Amino acid sequence: MQSEVNGIFVAAHELKAPLSLMRQLALSLDPNNPTEIKEYQAKMVTVSERALRQVSDLTKIARLEDGLFAMEPVAVRGVCDEVTSELKYLFRSNKKQLRVKYSNHQKLVIANRDLLHSVVYNFCVNAIKYSDSSTTSALTVSDHQNGDASSVRILVRDFGPALPKDIYYKLVHNQLEAPTGISFRPDSSGLGLYIATKFSRFMHANVGAIRHRDGTSFYVELPVSNQGTLFA
Amino acid sequence: MSRKPPLVFIIDDDEMFADCLVAAIKKGNKSAKVQTFKNAIDAMNSLSDPLPDLIFLDILLPGPDGFTFLNEITSYTDTAKIPIILVTSLELPEADLSIYGIQGILNKESMKPSEVTEYVKRYTN
């Protein structure tokens, strides 16, 4: 019950930021300045879309057990292209940059397209929040081999404050059972990471992080779908 | 002799929110020079001559938080006099923060741009 209450508190806190910003943008609008109206309108759309996605992700978490999210072969690059194109404006308006590098030969993974989209989206939004303006975050997709198991790794590297050690150990030991409280990283409840972890686990994917002295890399490793070989 | 334009600091890691504050500050004083910082360390490093006339400070920041900044700024006699307005979504009791010389608290959820403008008029004109 306590963790449920904490979860609601954290989700509410996380949604307060975009709503407060929307309100402030609306109040700041000068009706006599058409250029400003256009600029503020674009900002409001971006901020509201981000909040809507968060609400939508929370709804999905509540319904994960309902069997609504079928696993299927998914083209990784397609999902990453969708996310980066969706976030192009958000990166630009925050004066941040993202470099995308595909070096994977395996094209299909076993995943749910919607959930994978959310995982990559949350990693990228995290990079927007925590990277310094002068740095360029990176989204890298590469092949991985662990014994007989082949997987594709999607990794997002940011350059900002390093992930706190306690959260890092919780993540790598699969103990991230709830959002981590507002002191985790500033202006964040860790909700995005919690959502990404929850969705990754549902897809039987391996989720993790690499601590760097000048930032953090978050990654998800998804099993390769052999269905692609049927077309070969 | 012309008077130097007033200097206002904004310390907030939410760039879009900081942009809203800049617009409101400019409405309060067109000649004000506004400097925006995303973290407390950069702001602390910039606390040299000329000192800001007014600071708008968020609490949840990357690295050292707003309270660390307040502790630092109040430990020097020259910077301790700078009026500070907290702009935060945390619910903070104003009375408990009086030791930091806080001149006002604006709640991000309920504040109006005109309140920012008022503070700028009060402390920079």
Q: Where are the domains of chain A?
A: 2-231
Higher pLDDT, A80 or A38: A80
Q: Is the pTM of this model over 0.90?
A: no
Please name the member of A16, A25, A27 whose beta carbon is closest to the beta carbon of B89: A16
* Residue indicated by tokens 């990693």: A123
A-B contacts (CB, under 8 Å): 58
Say if CB A179 and CB A7 are below 8 A apart: yes
Nearest CA in chain B to A133: B38
End-to-end CA distance of chain B: 17
| Per-residue pLDDT tens digits for A145-183 | 877 788 999 999 998 777 777 777 777 676 555 555 444
B7-124 carries CATH number 3.40.50.300: no
Please name the member of B15, B60, B113 whose beta carbon is closest to the beta carbon of A95: B15
pLDDT at B24: 95
Residue B60 C-alpha, separation from nearest chain A C-alpha, in angstroms: 5
| Per-residue pLDDT tens digits for B74-119 | 999 999 999 999 998 877 766 667 777 788 999 998 899 999 999 9
Check CB contact under 8 Å for A182 and B108. Answer: no
Which among A97, A89, A88, A98 is positioned nearest to A39, based on CA atoms?
A: A89
Residues β-bridged to residue B8: B34, B54
Nearest CA in chain B to A96: B15
pLDDT at A84: 93
B49 pLDDT higher than 90:
no
User: Does ipTM top 0.95?
Assistant: no
Task: Identify the CATH assignment for A2-231 out of 3.30.565.10, 3.30.450.20, 2.40.50.100, 3.20.20.140.
Answer: 3.30.565.10
Q: Which residues of A touch B56 (CB under 8 A)?
A: none
Quote the tokens at residue B23.
Answer: 């617009």
pLDDT at A186: 46
